[in-house]
Amino acid sequence: MKMVTALPQSEQLAVQTAMIRQLFPNHDISVVTTMEDLFREATTADVLVSTAFFPISSDLLRSAPSLRMVQVAGVGVDHVDIAVAKELGITVACVTGANTVSVAEHVVMSALALIKGLAPANSAMHRGEWALPIWIKSARDMAGTTFGILGMGRIGREVALRLQPFQVTVLYNDIQPIDDEERYGATFVDFDTLMSESDVVSLHLPLNDATRKIIGADALDKMKFGACLINTARAELIDEAALAKALQNRLGGAAIDVFHPEPPPSDHPLVGLPNVILTPHGAGVTLEAQQRIAQGVIQNVLRFIDGRPLADVVVEGSR
């Protein structure tokens, strides 16, 4: 069996490559870091392991006649052409829940940083300025604020749980109310109410035709003056140009972990804005989350090799 693993460049790449080869000693292992290399190696691959940083397009899938399984090293599969995978009979699986806690913690961290005005104060201090005037002007308590969660799935619920000690009002919106609102201390409201009443809005939606650019100029205009937006889900949930404009005349700040494209170019509309906290699509890749994801991937690939039932199947293949 030939397994191709697509990983981003990192200081851990050599260690990761050695580990994969040690775990699958009797198989042909190829580790790639570019789309060019991925296209070349995929033509003879039986199994493809990939992160969200590598689009698994129709062209890629159709160029791989031996490919039987795509194992996503993460939760989201919107970078995989699911329709073509179904058409070709290629199994697609992911690792659900592995980074839920990591992302939820990142959201709470971001909310505190935005509400306190941490980023501009930190930047001023590094420039040699005494940032107390900035701090006095902008720092607020989290207690007493209203926190809106758009998408009450696994991560949204973990965010709500972690907000409970902060004495905030938690609103949420989803396709329908959840059954155990009391456990999460959250109240279901419609989209417009969530946008207009929240001091902080955090996005936890999947990307699809219904949610693409759900946060556009109209939605942003509904938000309170000085409110903040957090996106750790998918970049295309937001009209980034509209958000950049709102951040200059309406919103208090934003924390953005996902971009379109990635990495963002230097002229990306959100790069350089002083009230924006930018992180490199890393909310869900803490050291602990990486270990959980790696274990999930390894176990599922071993199941596939042995012909055992898989976990977290998105497409049941026939090859």
DSSP letters, 25-92, are: TTSEEEEE-SHHHHHHHHTT-SEEEE-TTS-B-HHHHHT-TT--EEEESSS--TTB-HHHHHHHT-EE
Q: Is the pLDDT of residue 76 over 90?
A: no
Are 44 and 121 part of one and the same domain? no
Are 106 and 218 part of one and the same domain? yes
pLDDT reported for residue 12:
86
Are 125 and 191 part of one and the same domain? yes
Are 255 and 291 part of one and the same domain? no
Q: Is 305 left (phi over 0), alpha (psi -120 to 50) or beta?
A: alpha
Are 174 and 54 part of one and the same domain? no
Are 161 and 222 part of one and the same domain? yes
User: Could you identify the residue written with the tokens 């026939």?
Assistant: 318
Q: Per residue in 106-152, pLDDT tens?
A: 999 999 999 999 999 999 999 999 999 989 988 999 999 999 999 99
Are 104 and 186 part of one and the same domain? yes
- Strands 91-93 and 313-315 come out as antiparallel
Residue 259's domain comprises 100-278
Interval 208-220 mean pLDDT: 97
Interval 254-267 mean pLDDT: 95
Are 158 and 258 part of one and the same domain? yes
Q: How far apart are CA 243 and CA 227, in angstroms?
A: 12
Are 44 and 161 part of one and the same domain? no
Q: How far apart are CA 280 and CA 263, in angstroms?
A: 8
Catalytic machinery residues = 234, 262, 281
- CATH number, domain at 237? 3.40.50.720
Q: Is the pLDDT of residue 83 over 90?
A: yes
pTM to 2 decimal places? 0.91
3-state secondary structure of 170: strand
Are 53 and 23 part of one and the same domain? yes
Q: If you average pLDDT over every residue of the chain, what do you get?
A: 96
Are 36 and 20 part of one and the same domain? yes
Are 107 and 240 part of one and the same domain? yes
pLDDT reported for residue 216:
98
Query: Looking at the DSSP assignment, which residues form a beta bridge with residue 201?
Result: 148, 229
In which band, very low, low, confident or very high, does the pLDDT at 52 lie, cut at 50, 70 and 90?
Answer: confident
Structural domain count of the chain: 2
**R_g of the chain computed on alpha carbons:** 21
